[in-house]
Structures are given as C-alpha cells and as structure tokens.
C-alpha cells in the first residue's frame, strides 16, 4: 500500500483518486483549486488566536457544538481512555466566529466545501453499478447546503513532557462523516493504518490536500469505500517545541438523508457523538 499524490488537473485524476480511496481510504491531491496562500494565512491567524485568552470567550455550547473546545474537554477516541492532546474551534457558517477571523475562514470553508462536493461526484462516477445502486440519492446532493458540515480548526500545542501517559495528539480513529478534506498541516504527523496493522506517513508537503473516507460513506456504500484508521503522532526532538494547526473539513449530509437501511445521517451522527462523549 502506497499513497502517491495525484494531480487534480490530470486527465485521469478522478479515476486515480477514487482508486486510491478504495485501496487506502485516503487520496492526496496536488494542483487543486484551494488557495494555498489563504491556507497559510489562516494557519498564522488561528495560531495567534489560540495563544490568547480570547478563545475562552467563545466556549462551545453543548447543544450547538460550535465554538472553542479546550484541551480539558478534548475528544477521547473510540476505544481509548486518554484524551487527545489538542484544542479546537468548530466553525459552522451559522456559528460564532471571532470577527477578525471570519472573512478568511469562511472563504476557505466555501472553497473546501465546493471541492468536497466535486470529489463526491468523482466517487459516484467510479462506483461499481451495484454499489451506486444502493445510494439513496446522488452523493453530492446528500451534502448540498448542509448546515452540519463542520470545519474544525485544530491546535496541537507544543509538547511539554508532562503529558498524560499514552496520550498522543490524535489517537487512532476513523472519521464519522462522508469525506474529510484536509490541507497538509504546518507540521507532519498524520499517519494511516495499513491492512497489516503498520502505519504509513501521509505525504504532508505544504500545498497538498489530503482526503479520507468517513464512516458515513462506508455505510452508504455498503463497505465498498473503507473508513480507514488514522492518527496524529507526537513530534520528537526539536519538533516537540512546535505547535501544529490543521483545518479538516468534515463533510456531513443533511440529517434526513438515508445512508442505509439501518441509519439516517442524523441518527448515525447522534450515535457517534454519544460514543465520543461530546453529547
């Protein structure tokens, strides 16, 4: 299993991308339409925000799940007992966002959302007939104008050496949603698990866009597209002093969308959020 970057503008990019998703659960794109300078600016702006006390003015609301989530309430990955070493801010178009940060982050949200919807069309185009026949509607229609699509601004603080035993920046987990769109972070650390249980570094060259399958697409495709386990490992040596910011967009269907005979998207999301301990 290897992860090679695919040129978004290449003639066979859609087929090669879907093949990578099918085989590894991940796809990496270069030469894509998301503005890298916008991403770079957002990393700088939000790193500065996380270093201020202002973040506590936007403390998340349990009923809406928007705003700032401090490290004390960070997620515990399913099957783990130790919280991840991270804090984050949930951005929704309808949610609370610091005024000085709003313009750039919402511009990125729009760009990433548009790319993700296009990639769902690629997935559908190259799904086998028996798989696409199980989709309750076109995949990109499932997420159209969804108020549930979440942009998470993640901040992994510098390591201090006093972290809880066994804690890492993001323990091994699978994503809940349809697709996750992630610009390569400002520091490496993202790994995907291979079928033999070993770990593979995801190419993290700045400018790459990394896409992975979430559980909802796995559910909607009857398991044909696998939701692959991934993690963010702790840095070592001099890199321990570096913070890490990342911008995953979690593409969510509208809540009434039928994923399978077992679940609507809303039912699935509620079940998983309860498992994570955030509901």
Exposure string for 239-278, b = 16+ CB within 10 A, e = fewer = eeeebbbbbbbbbbbbeebbbbeebbbbebbeebeeeeee
Return mean pLDDT, the chain: 86
Per-residue pLDDT tens digits for 213-255: 999 999 999 999 999 888 877 555 445 556 778 899 999 999 9
pLDDT for residue 184: 79
How far is CA 146 from each of CA 59, 140, 150, rounded to the nearest angstrom?
A: 23, 11, 10
The CA distance from 104 to 101, in Å, is 6
Among candidate residues 40, 101, 112, 44, the one with its CA nearest the CA of residue 67: 101
Place of tokens 């590894």: 24
High-pLDDT (> 70) share of the chain, %: 84
pLDDT at 157 over 90: no
pLDDT classification of 84: cutoffs 50, 70, 90: low
Helix (H/G/I), strand (E/B), else coil: 5: strand
Per-residue pLDDT tens digits for 137-153: 999 999 999 999 999 99
pLDDT for residue 35: 93
Q: Mean per-residue pLDDT for 55-64?
A: 93
Q: Mean per-residue pLDDT for 3-11?
A: 91
pTM, rounded to two decimals: 0.87
Per-residue pLDDT tens digits for 110-126: 999 999 999 999 999 99
């Amino acid at each position: 299993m290897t992860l090679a970057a695919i040129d978004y503008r290449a003639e066979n990019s859609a087929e090669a991308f879907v093949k990578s998703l099918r085989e590894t659960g991940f796809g990496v794109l270069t030469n894509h339409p998301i503005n890298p300078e916008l991403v770079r600016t957002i990393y700088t702006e939000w790193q500065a925000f996380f270093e201020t006390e202002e973040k506590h003015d936007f403390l998340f609301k349990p009923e809406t799940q928007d705003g700032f989530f401090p490290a004390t309430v960070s997620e515990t990955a399913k099957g783990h007992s130790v919280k991840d070493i991270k804090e984050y801010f949930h951005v929704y178009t309808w949610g609370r966002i610091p005024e000085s940060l709003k313009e750039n982050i919402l511009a990125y949200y729009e760009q990433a959302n548009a790319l993700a919807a296009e990639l769902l069309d690629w997935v559908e185009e190259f799904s086998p007939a028996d798989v696409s026949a199980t989709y309750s509607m076109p995949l990109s229609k499932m997420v159209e104008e969804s108020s549930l699509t979440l942009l998470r601004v993640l901040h992994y603080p510098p390591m201090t050496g006093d972290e809880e035993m066994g804690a890492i920046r993001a323990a091994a987990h699978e994503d809940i949603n349809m697709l996750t769109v992630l610009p390569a972070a400002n520091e490496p650390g993202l790994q995907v698990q291979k079928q033999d249980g070993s770990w593979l570094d995801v190419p993290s060259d700045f400018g790459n866009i990394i896409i992975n399958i979430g559980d909802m697409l796995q559910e909607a495709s009857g398991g044909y597209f696998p939701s692959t386990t991934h993690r963010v490992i702790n840095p070592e040596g001099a890199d321990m002093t570096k913070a890490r910011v990342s911008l995953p967009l979690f593409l969510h269907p509208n809540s009434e969308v039928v994923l399978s005979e077992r679940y609507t998207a809303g039912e699935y999301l509620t079940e998983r959020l309860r498992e994570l301990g955030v509901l």
